[in-house]
A and B are shown apart, each in its own frame.
Chain A
Amino acid sequence: MNCEQAQLECLDLDQAQGLDGAVGELKAHLEGCAECRAYLRLDDHLRALPTPEPSPDLEARFMARLRIQAPPTPRPVRVSWGWRVSGLAAALLLLIGGAALDRALRREAPRAEEGDARMQGTLRLVHSPLSADRMKGLALLDAGDRSVQETLFSLVERDPDTQVRLAAVEALYLFEGDPRLRSQLGAALSRQDRPEVQVALVDLVVSLRERRALEAMRRLEREGKLSGGQRSRVQAAIAQLDQPPM
Chain B
Amino acid sequence: MAHVQAGETAHVGTLFHRHHRPLFGYLYRMNGHGPLCEDLVQEVFLRVLRYAHTFKPGSAFKPWLYQIARNVLADHWKRLPPEVPLALDSAAEPPDPDHFLQRLEADQDHHNLLSALACLPRDKRELLLLSRNPDLSYEDIAGLLQSTPGAIKVRVHRALNDLKAVFFRNQEVRS
Whether A66 and B132, one on each chain, are in contact in the complex, defined by CB atoms closer than 8 angstroms, is no
B94: chain A residues at CB < 8 Å are: 35
Asked if B97 CB lies within 8 Å of chain A CBs, one says: yes
A38, closest chain B residue (CB): B97
Cα–Cα distance between A86 and B11 once the two chains are bound (Å): 13
> Quick check: A92 and B15 within 8 Å, CB to CB?
yes
| A41 CB contacts on chain B under 8 angstroms | 101, 104-105
A-B CB contacts (within 8 Å), total count: 179
* Stretch of A54-62, A112-120, A160-168, A215-223 that contacts chain B: A54-62
Beta-carbon contact of A70 and B22 below 8 Å:
no
Q: Is the interface of A mostly helix, strand, loop or mixed?
A: helix
Which residue of B has the minimal Cβ distance to A58?
B38
Give per-residue flags for B115-142: 1 if the beta carbon is below 8 A from chain A beta carbons, else 0.
Answer: 0010000000000100110100000000
Check B76 for interface membership: any CB of A closer than 8 A: no
Contact A49 B114 (CB under 8 A): yes
Q: A38-B104, A47-B132, A52-B24 are in contact. Are A71 and B17 (CB under 8 A)?
A: no
Collect the chain B residues with CB atoms within 8 Å of residue A93's CB.
11
Measured in the bound complex, the distance between the Cα atoms of B101 and A91 in whole Å is 49
Closest chain B CB from A129 CB (angstroms) = 24
Interface residue from B17, B58, B97, B104 paired with A99 (Cβ < 8 Å)? B58
Bound complex: CA of A62 vs CA of B37, how far in Å? 13
A2 at the interface (CB under 8 A from B): no
Instruction: Give the docked Cα–Cα distance between A49 and B26 (Å).
Output: 11
A43, B4: Cα distance in complex, Å: 46
Contact A85 B4 (CB under 8 A): yes
Does A111 belong to the interface (CB within 8 Å)? no
- Asked if A192 is at the interface of the complex by the 8 Å CB criterion, the answer is no
B42 lies within 8 A of chain A by Cβ: yes
A142 contact set on B, CB distance < 8 A: 7
User: Is the interface on chain A under 10, 10 to 19, 20 to 34, or 35 or more residues?
Assistant: 35 or more
Confirm or deny: B20 has a beta carbon within 8 angstroms of a beta carbon on chain A.
Answer: yes
In the complex, which of the residues A63, A71, A99 contacts B59, with contact meaning CB atoms closer than 8 Å?
A: A99
Do A87 and B157 contact each other (CB < 8 Å), given the known contacts A42-B164, A61-B42, A173-B17?
Answer: no
Find out whether the CB atom of A66 lies under 8 angstroms from the CB atom of B49. Answer: yes
A96 touches B58 (CB 8 A): no
Please name all residues of chain A whose beta carbon is closer than 8 Å to the beta carbon of B22 when the two chains form the complex. Answer: 51
Residues of chain B contacted by A63 (CB below 8 angstroms): 13, 16
Contact with A along B1-37 (1 / 0, CB 8 A): 1001101111111111110111011001100001001
Does the CB pair A7–B157 fall under 8 Å? Answer: yes
Q: Which residue of B lies closest to A143 (CB)?
A: B10
- Write out the residue numbers on chain B whose beta carbons fall within 8 Å of the beta carbon of A52: 24-25, 28-29, 34
Q: Which of A70, A86, A95 contacts B15 (CB 8 A)?
A: A95
Chain A residues, Cβ within 8 Å of B5: 70, 73
User: Is A81 positioned at the interface, with any CB of B under 8 Å from its CB?
Assistant: no
Is A106 in the interface zone, CB < 8 Å from B?
yes
B32, chain A: closest CB distance, angstroms: 9
B118 to chain A, nearest CB (A): 12
Interface residues of A in 1-56 (CB under 8 A from B): 4, 7-8, 11, 15, 34-35, 37-39, 41-43, 45-55
Q: Hey, which chain A residues are within 8 Å of B73, CB to CB? A: none
Pick from B9, B52, B113, B154: contact of A46, CB under 8 Å: B113
State how many angstroms separate the Cβ of B91 from the closest Cβ of chain A: 18
Q: Which residues of A contact B (CB under 8 A)?
A: 4, 7-8, 11, 15, 34-35, 37-39, 41-43, 45-55, 58-59, 61-63, 65-67, 69-71, 73, 76, 85-89, 91-96, 98-99, 102-103, 106, 142-143, 173-174, 176, 203, 207, 229, 233
16 example contacts (A-B, Cβ-Cβ < 8 A) are as follows A34-B101, A38-B98, A39-B161, A46-B163, A58-B20, A59-B16, A59-B20, A61-B42, A66-B12, A88-B53, A92-B11, A99-B60, A102-B57, A102-B59, A106-B57, A143-B10
